Amino acid sequence: METRALQVFLSVADSLNFSRSAEQLHMSVSAVSRTIARLEQEVGQPLLERDRRRVRLTGAGRDFREYARDAVARWQQLRRRLGSEGELAGEVSLYCSVTASYSVLAPILEAFRSAHPAVEIMLHTGDQADGIGRILEGQDDLAVSGRPEHLPSRLSFLPLLQSPLLFWVPTADCSVRELALGGAGAVDWRRLPLIVPERGVTKDLLDAWFAARGLRPHIYAQVAGHEAIVAMAGLGLGVGIAPQLVVQAGGMASRVEPLPLAQGPGNLDIGLCSLGQRLTSPLVRSFWEVADKTYRETL
């Protein structure tokens, strides 16, 4: 069986969603489906139960997931061992948001590929709020994430840059803009509709900011991903909270503008995170060191 096919199966077994796995693997949904079908044909049994509402692993699928994990891990170990005789070889698994993939990771990947061309990068994208959880669960080697106030002891964090957390107001004339900017400097947080993250570091910082001021804001929507928050704010649905980096990198600077405040929620520290024990891997350690050098040279 091809290692790539096993990796596709493991992604679907983890997400239980063909569309999400296709996006993470940069494949079409039909290609993912064909890969699973070929594996099921080789195994001789269904690995997944599919209906219109959900996807579930069969008993055979659960057993095959253990085999696939072991086979992929052994293959990666072999590639690392063979690569240790000369250049680094193997695979590094990365997780980040779409924005971070080109605004944070791009210079690191360019430098890393130049230094270690035989290493394969497996990039998974999604809500940045999921990054730390995926690292703690062992799903990825490295993730781009905001730094939480309380860093789990098993986690190592490499700071790369800071981006101000700002409230974003739609630039188009609408009731939200009038409510946000029409109060002569005083924001009525009880009426102003806010679009906020449903979880993650940004939500924690925002909750702490409101709590410190004794405010109970009007939450219009809780959304997964900064990109979606900014897009909804640009449509005039509410005022969104997101790092300045997301607006600058996402092409939304003409659709939203910062809400003028004397003191906002502060800066979001953005960096790489990994399990401390993963940094003993030459592959992961090399990527970590390249990332550190890349951003130190830009300061």
CA atoms 49, 70, 72, 292: torsion sign? positive
CA gap 89, 108 in Å, rounded: 17
51 within a domain of the structure (yes/no): yes
292 within a domain of the structure (yes/no): no
H helix runs in the chain, sequence order: 3-15, 18-25, 29-43, 59-83, 98-103, 105-115, 131-136, 175-181, 201-212, 226-234, 244-249, 282-296
294 within a domain of the structure (yes/no): no
The reported pLDDT for the residue numbered 242 is 94
The reported pLDDT for the residue numbered 1 is 65
100 within a domain of the structure (yes/no): no
The answer to whether 240 and 176 have CB atoms below 8 angstroms apart is: no
The reported pLDDT for the residue numbered 99 is 86
Which residues partner with 94 through β-bridges?
123, 142
The answer to whether 35 and 9 have CB atoms below 8 angstroms apart is: yes
Whether residues 80 and 165 share a domain: the answer is no
Whether residues 166 and 78 share a domain: the answer is no
Q: Of 61, 86, 111, at which residue does a domain stop?
A: 86
Q: How many domains does the chain have?
A: 2
- Domain housing 17: 1-86
The reported pLDDT for the residue numbered 286 is 93
Q: Of 70, 86, 102, at which residue does a domain stop?
A: 86
The reported pLDDT for the residue numbered 52 is 76
CATH classification at residue 10: 1.10.10.10
Could you give the angle at the alpha carbon of 52 between the alpha carbons of 138 and 131, nearest 5°?
20
Could you give the angle at the alpha carbon of 140 between the alpha carbons of 279 and 240, nearest 5°?
115
248 within a domain of the structure (yes/no): yes
279 within a domain of the structure (yes/no): no
Cβ-in-10-Å burial (0-12, 13-18, 19+) of 264 comes to middle
The 3-state secondary structure of 141-169, one letter per residue: CEEEEECCCCCCCCEEEEEEEEEEEEEEE
Taking the C-alpha atoms of 201, 204, 206 and 208 in order, what is their torsion angle to the nearest 10 degrees? Answer: -140
Residue pLDDT tens, the chain, 299 long: 678 789 889 988 988 888 888 877 767 788 888 889 999 999 999 999 888 778 899 999 999 999 998 888 887 777 666 655 556 777 889 999 888 888 899 899 989 988 888 888 888 888 888 899 889 888 889 999 999 888 899 999 999 999 999 999 999 999 999 999 886 668 889 999 999 999 889 999 999 999 999 999 999 999 988 999 999 999 999 999 999 999 988 788 899 999 998 888 999 999 999 999 889 888 899 999 999 999 887 65
Locus of tokens 């000369």:
86
The reported pLDDT for the residue numbered 162 is 92
73 within a domain of the structure (yes/no): yes
The reported pLDDT for the residue numbered 290 is 94
CATH classification at residue 171: 3.40.190.10
Whether residues 180 and 264 share a domain: the answer is yes
142 within a domain of the structure (yes/no): no
Q: Of 59, 86, 113, at which residue does a domain stop?
A: 86
The reported pLDDT for the residue numbered 298 is 61
Is the overall model pTM greater than 0.85, yes or no?
no
The reported pLDDT for the residue numbered 114 is 85
